Chain A
Amino acid sequence: MTTARPGTFLLVDDSPLTHQMYRLVFSRGALGGSTLLHAMNGREGYGLLAAHPEITLVLLDLNMPEMNGLEFLERRAAEGLHPEVPVVLVTTESTPEDEERGRAAGATEYLRKPFVPADLERLVARLQRDRPAA
């Protein structure tokens, strides 16, 4: 099992607490030293993704004001913005239909809340292994 490497991560979520949690997770262990970009809604997140070609992975909440996760993915697909960057949809629960819709819109993976730091590390490691660009 490969270990995760630090990278540049875009975190899109409307909860400041969640951002704090991400900061914690990305400050330790294999992911320590990563660069984090924070957005509070899909619109902000989209802007950051457009402005930062160095982003290696996006962690995207579903329910956000202004532009939610699905809308973010749809816009990204329509505009062809950085299609090679993996996007992980982070959500509390989802039905198989939700997951289908997400993947159809362009999500690479799903990460279910609640997750512990180890879950995230494993996911990142797997994505980094499968997609060297990450």
Chain B
Amino acid sequence: MDRDHAFAELIHEYIAECLPLAEGVTEALLEIERQWRDGHRDAGELGALKGRLHTLKGNSAMMGLRPMQAVAHALEDLCARLVADPVARSDEAAALLIEGGGLLSDLIRAARESDDGTAAEVYVARVRAAVDAHPASPEPALRLERRRTERRTPSDAGGTIRVDFRQLDTLLEIFGEAMIEQSGLPDVHRRLRAILGQCDELAEFDRVIGSVSATMKRLEGALMQTRLLPISTVFGRYARMVRDVARDQRKPVRMVTEGGDTLLDKTILDRLGEPLVHLLTNAVVHGLELEADRRRLGKLAEGTLTLRASTVADRAVVIVADDGRGLDTARIHTKALALGMDVRSDAADDLHQLIFVPGFSTADQVTELAGRGVGLDAAAAAIHALGGSIEVRSVAGEGTAFVLSLPLTLAIVRSLIVEVDNERFAVPLSHVAETSRVRTAAMHEVGGRGVLMWRGSAVSVADGGTLLGTTARPGPRDYCVVLFAGARQRGLLVDRLIGHQDVVVKGLDPALGRPHLVSGTTILGDGRVACILDAAGVVAREAA
């Protein structure tokens, strides 16, 4: 590919995104061929491929990769024709589709090398010939209709039903609201008690509050259970990827997976993908030796990658291991010193942990695939943001194992990240009524305190800086976040709205005491810790 191209540096990302897409297309095409051979000559999933092919075409075009763009376009055209024209759905057409899918995958896989485009040209010409040879025949809508209902509807054996995952998300959202509402009860009880004094009815009320709370906890547990999926769903994806990277590197590799039935929350699984890809690629590219070297060392020529998952107490442990050359402790030590790092210990285990530091890579050749030292620290950051941890164990000459420890469920809060005096805070969206630009005309001062007219009422406004202690005196702020808790509201003035983010909540360490303004902490995507604001605390706090 043209190295001067504007987006040349994204070639790794291009391959990482488009290769699985292309392979998915090929798999779907294989399935369609099977169905056609079985006699179900309907359009099936051909129409659904349009989106993926369109993305492949667009991305390839943006990267200046014309052969891929042309093949994707040809596939789009061929699919469109076969959807419109049932007569054209022949075995030859199916073979042509599959050939195109394979060609596209091969081209993408080899995207870093320059290609003279002949294979693509030839294929495109053949597709054109095939499409032109069968002028579209008018398809009576009726016949199509009948065919559609004949299609096998997906059903699951046993006692399961398909539920759209978004519905589970909705359930959890509603549950979250119920939790918040329920959390107001103890306060009401306290205030009643102050007025009425102790009495049997109040004691009963207290018991009921307690049992509602316990039931809510059980409900939460059950809801979280519905979101659990076996990790085998992501394992499958990687076998293919590993095979391709291995072929790319000309190293024979086999991948062994264990513990595929280990259940993990879907959100964690979704986010685990990227870091796992980094680790696997890293293992094949840097961990495993070349075949000749392995033979010389008396190892099996075929390298083994192991993906093992299990549950240990309340954590899921995922191990990514290779039986390759292991980490070169001496080289890490040298590199660390060269980078100006102050290395206290020369214990192998401690030195090995250094590979997660940004910018650290001891590979001789910086391959575009995994060698920039970008992969490991990004992988570590992604795992930390999930509330997990990652360690590496290695024995020189025998192999390397990355051990990931992940929580089984996540306490996640959809938050608005705001910035005040360069400090970032997470504000739970469930308590945000509105955000707006500060228009000084709408701000007033009543009795020395800031007040905002909002939806017909006067809402007291606090400077985010003085409230959160970032500064001693209030300054001009650009945005106002109107928070609410129960029936009360407060406007909070901040400098910037960074964006919405799902943040993993970590409880407050007891050493931090019981701040009223902060309900927890989280690690943002960039690795920085941010405090999660307690809306009730912010709303209740007397203005300074």
Chain A–chain B contact at Cβ < 8 A? yes
A residues lining the B interface (CB < 8 Å): 14-18, 20-21, 24-25, 37, 47-48, 51-54, 63, 65, 92, 113-117
**Which bracket fits the contact residues of B?**
20 to 34
* CB-based contact A14/B55 at 8 Å: yes
Q: A48-B500, A53-B437, A114-B61 are in contact. Are A17 and B54 (CB under 8 A)?
A: no
> Given B13, B62, B497, which contacts A114 in the complex, CB threshold below 8 Å?
B62
A-B contacts, 10 of them at CB < 8 A, read: A20-B13, A51-B500, A52-B499, A53-B435, A54-B437, A92-B61, A113-B58, A114-B58, A114-B62, A117-B6
* CB-based contact B10/A20 at 8 Å: yes
A92 to B68, alpha carbons, bound, how many Å? 14
Q: A54-B497, A63-B54, A113-B58 are in contact. Are A15 and B6 (CB under 8 A)?
A: no
A14 to B497, alpha carbons, bound, how many Å? 23
> Given B58, B416, B436, B479, which contacts A15 in the complex, CB threshold below 8 Å?
B58
A17 to B65, alpha carbons, bound, how many Å? 14
A88 to B58, alpha carbons, bound, how many Å? 16
> Given A24, A48, A52, A54, which contacts B10 in the complex, CB threshold below 8 Å?
A24
What residues on B are CB-neighbors of A113 within 8 Å? Answer: 58, 61-62
* CB-based contact B62/A18 at 8 Å: yes
Q: A52-B497, A53-B435 are in contact. Are A115 and B62 (CB under 8 A)?
A: yes
Q: A54-B437, A92-B54 are in contact. Are A18 and B59 (CB under 8 A)?
A: yes
B residues lining the A interface (CB < 8 Å): 6-7, 9-10, 13-14, 17-18, 51, 54-55, 57-59, 61-64, 416, 435-437, 479, 497, 499-500
A112 to B530, alpha carbons, bound, how many Å? 40
* CB-based contact A92/B499 at 8 Å: no
> Given A16, A37, A47, which contacts B17 in the complex, CB threshold below 8 Å?
A16
What residues on B are CB-neighbors of A51 within 8 Å? Answer: 416, 435, 497, 500
Q: A52-B497, A92-B61 are in contact. Are A17 and B6 (CB under 8 A)?
A: no
A15 to B13, alpha carbons, bound, how many Å? 11
Q: Find the A residue at minimum CB distance from B274.
A: A16
* CB-based contact A65/B7 at 8 Å: no
A5 to B13, alpha carbons, bound, how many Å? 28
Q: Find the A residue at minimum CB distance from B61.
A: A114
* CB-based contact B51/A65 at 8 Å: yes
* CB-based contact A37/B18 at 8 Å: no
A14-B55, A18-B62 are known; give 16 further A-B pairs, CB within 8 A: A15-B59, A17-B18, A17-B59, A18-B59, A20-B10, A20-B13, A21-B7, A21-B62, A48-B499, A48-B500, A53-B437, A65-B51, A92-B57, A113-B62, A116-B6, A117-B6
A25 to B6, alpha carbons, bound, how many Å? 9
In the complex, the 6 A-B pairs of residues with the closest C-beta atoms, listed nearest first: A114-B61, A17-B17, A114-B62, A92-B58, A113-B58, A20-B13
What residues on A are CB-neighbors of B9 within 8 Å? Answer: 24
* CB-based contact A24/B7 at 8 Å: yes
What residues on A are CB-neighbors of B63 within 8 Å? Answer: 114
What residues on A are CB-neighbors of B10 within 8 Å? Answer: 17, 20-21, 24
A25 to B10, alpha carbons, bound, how many Å? 12
What residues on A are CB-neighbors of B435 within 8 Å? Answer: 51-53
Q: Find the A residue at minimum CB distance from B51.
A: A63
A51 to B37, alpha carbons, bound, how many Å? 51
What residues on B are CB-neighbors of A17 within 8 Å? Answer: 10, 13-14, 17-18, 59, 62
- Determine how close the nearest CB of chain A comes to the CB of B35; give it in whole angstroms: 24
What residues on B are CB-neighbors of A25 within 8 Å? Answer: 6
A116 to B4, alpha carbons, bound, how many Å? 12
What residues on A are CB-neighbors of B497 within 8 Å? Answer: 51-52, 54
A54 to B436, alpha carbons, bound, how many Å? 9
Q: Find the A residue at minimum CB distance from B432.
A: A51
Residue with the greatest number of chain A CB neighbours at <10 A, chosen from B58, B59, B63: B58
A54 to B435, alpha carbons, bound, how many Å? 10
- Determine how close the nearest CB of chain B comes to the CB of A24; give it in whole angstroms: 6
- Determine how close the nearest CB of chain A comes to the CB of B499; give it in whole angstroms: 6
